[in-house]
Every structure is written in C-alpha cells, then in structure tokens.
Amino acid sequence: MQRAILLVDHGSRLDAANAVLEHIAEALRRRVGDAQVEVAHMELAEPTLADALERCVAGGAREVVVVPYFLGPGRHTTGDIPRLVEEASAAHPDVALRLAEPLGFDERLVELVADRADAAQES
C-alpha cells in the first residue's frame, strides 16, 4: 500500500512562515523513505488541504495520514480538518484516510522550549 503523509498547518501570508512546513516535510521525507509527504495550509496560502489530498491520490497513495501541524485543539483541528478529511473520504472510498492528533503535549517539545529559552538573546 502506497502511503502518504499530509502535513497541515494554518498558513501565512509570509513565505518564510510557509517555508517552515516545507522544511519539516523535507526532513520527514528523508526519515520515512518511500512514503509520499505533502503539505497543505488551511488559510492564506496554497496548496489547500483538498488540493494536497488530490495530489496524494494522483501520486498513487492508497493510504493518506493527515497530520495537523498545530500545538493543540482549535477550530481547524477539531472542526475544519476532520470535515475536510471526511469529505475526501467520501470522494475517494478506495483510499484509507486517517487523521492524526495535533502535536499537543510531548516531552520532546518541552526540551525544545527549554533549549529555545536558553538560547534567547536579551532585547
């Protein structure tokens, strides 16, 4: 089964902000090997989640795991993304669509926050 991972963030008008998700996707591609990895933005930037899902299917994905790149629950993670995944599932009944939880709490994030705090420069 060809697997795809679709990372979804909020999206921004700033190209540099959207590039962060692309950077994460590239690192994930190296880690997962043969899985297709795509990105989508909920607002303010392309591609949309629907467009990225179509790209996954067109690329041969038989399973798509949608991973919200958000820290916690909110409108997009509790309403918009599940609705869009459900709509895509109805449009592609032959593709297994799964929705992961947002990043949420994880000890690895605590370490990252501590590292960022230690590295902060005084303004």
Active site residues: 10
What is d(CA 26, CA 44) in angstroms, rounded to the nearest whole number?
21
Peptide bond into 47 cis (omega under 30): yes
- 29-33: long-range contacts (C-beta < 8 A, 24 or more apart)? 32/5
Beta bridge partners of 39: 7
The phi, psi pair for 113, rounded to 5°, reads -60, -40
| Token duo for residue 76 | 């997009």
